[in-house]
Amino acid sequence: MEYSNNLPPEIIEIVLLKLPVKSLLRFKTVCTSWNTIISDPVFTRIHLENSNNSPNNNDNLFITEKGDTERGFSLFKLEGGKLHADRVSENPSGNMVILCECNGVLLLRDSSGGVNNTSNYVLWNPSTRRVRCFNDPYGSTVNYGLCYDPITDDFKVVVMKRSSYSIFSCNSDSWTEVEESRSYDSVGWSGVFADGALYWLFCFEMARFDPETDELEALRKPEQLGDYDEFSLGRLRGRLCLYCNNTGDDERGIRIWIKEKNSNDWEAFVAIENVPTDPIAVWIYVDSFRIGIVCVFQLSRQRRLLVT
Amino acid sequence: MAAETGTPTTLTLKSNDDELFSVAESAAILSVTIRNMVEDGCAGGVIPLDNVDGKTLASVITYMNGISAIPADEEKKKSYRDKFLSDKDFETLADMVLAANYLNMSCLMDAVSAKIAQVMEKKSVGWVRRKFGIENDYTPEEEAAVKEEHKWTFEGVETDDDN
CB B64 within 8 A of CB B23: yes
Burial of A1 (0-12, 13-18, 19+ CB in 10 A): exposed
Are B132 and A7 inside 8 Å of each other by CB?
yes
Residues contacting B112, CB < 8 A, separation 6+: B85, B93, B96, B97, B100
Enter the pTM of the model: 0.78
CA–CA separation, A257 and A236 (whole Å): 10
Bigger pLDDT: B67 vs A205: B67
Residue of A214, A108, A103 whose CA lies nearest to A148: A103
Predicted pLDDT of residue B130? 93
CB contacts of B150 in chain A (<8 Å) are 25-26, 28-29
Other C-beta atoms lying within 10 Å of the C-beta of residue B19:
14
Q: How many CA atoms lie within 13 A of B49 on its CB side?
A: 31
Residues contacting B70, CB < 8 A, separation 6+: B76, B77, B80
Given phi > 0 = left and psi -120 to 50 = alpha, else beta, which region is A279?
beta
End-to-end CA distance of chain B: 47
The per-residue pLDDT for range B33-60, each reduced to its tens digit, is 999 988 888 767 789 999 999 999 999 9
Rounded average pLDDT over A157-171: 86
Is the model's pLDDT at A239 over the cut of 60?
Answer: yes
Is the model's pLDDT at B108 over the cut of 60?
Answer: yes
How far does the CA of residue B90 sit from the closest CA of chain A (Å)? Answer: 9
Instruction: Write the ipTM.
Output: 0.91
CA–CA separation, B77 and B67 (whole Å): 6
Residue of A192, A268, A190, A203 whose CA lies nearest to A229: A203
Is the model's pLDDT at A272 over the cut of 60?
Answer: yes
Other C-beta atoms lying within 10 Å of the C-beta of residue A233:
19
Question: Does domain B2-120 fall into CATH 3.40.50.2020?
Answer: no
Residues of chain B with CATH 3.30.710.10: 2-120
* Residue B148 CA, distance from chain mean position: 35
* Residue A46 CA, distance from chain mean position: 18
Are A31 and B133 inside 8 Å of each other by CB?
no
Q: Which of B91, B117, B157 sits opposite A15 (nearest CB)?
A: B117
CA–CA separation, B44 and B12 (whole Å): 9
Q: Is A162 helix (H, G, I), strand (E, B) or coil?
A: coil
The per-residue pLDDT for range A5-43, each reduced to its tens digit, is 589 999 999 999 999 899 999 999 999 999 999 999 899
Cross-strand bridge partners of residue A132 = A123
CA–CA separation, A37 and A29 (whole Å): 12
Scan residues 107-146 of B and list those with Cβ closer than 8 Å to A: 109, 113-114, 116-118, 120-122, 125, 128-138, 142-143, 146
**Counts for chain B of helices (H) and strands (E), in that order:** 8, 3
Bigger pLDDT: A247 vs B149: B149
Is the model's pLDDT at A79 over the cut of 70?
Answer: no
Residues contacting B19, CB < 8 A, separation 6+: B54, B57, B58
CB contacts of A32 in chain B (<8 Å) are 137-138, 142
